[in-house]
Amino acid sequence: MTIKAYLYNKCDTCRKAKKWLTEEGVGFEEIPIVDAPPSKEELRRIWKASGLELRKFFNVSGVQYKELGLKDKLPTMTEEEMLELLASNGKLIKRPLITDEKNVTLGFKAEDLEKTWGGK
């Protein structure tokens, strides 16, 4: 199974995750999350595999999140609306998003990457 790492090259946590994966010898396909965000159906599969709340997939510190007033809107949005919104704008997705569609890590915590993706 291919590990897909959805990354944004201007994001510090994405650069840290990429460095960690590379240094640990974990093979992965790098996908630019802003230019090629996961589709709605991919996001649905990733979300279901993660076991996390769908809200956890939102980049709450991002400019678009704040501009769109999502803090107040998310509680009343349906799962379908959230998935469509995430698929429409890669900057709304918490990153890095790393998955092999069975396992998922969101954000960068070395201990989470080690636990999920192993390494050397």
H-only helix segments in the chain:
12-23, 40-50, 63-67, 70-73, 79-88, 110-117
pLDDT tens string, the chain, 120 residues long: the values are: 689 999 999 999 999 999 999 999 999 999 999 999 999 999 999 999 999 999 999 999 999 999 999 999 999 999 999 999 999 999 999 999 999 989 999 999 999 999 999 865
* Architecture label for domain 4-117: 3-Layer(aba) Sandwich (3.40)
The predicted pLDDT at position 37 comes to 96
| Burial environment of residue 36 by CB neighbours within 10 A (0 to 12, 13 to 18, 19 or more) | exposed
- For CA atoms 95, 32, 62, 57, give the dihedral sign: negative
Cα-flanking dihedrals φ and ψ of residue 62, to 5°? -80, 155
What does the pLDDT read at residue 1?
Answer: 63
- Residue spans of the domains in the chain: they are 4-117
The phi, psi pair for 81, rounded to 5°, reads -65, -40
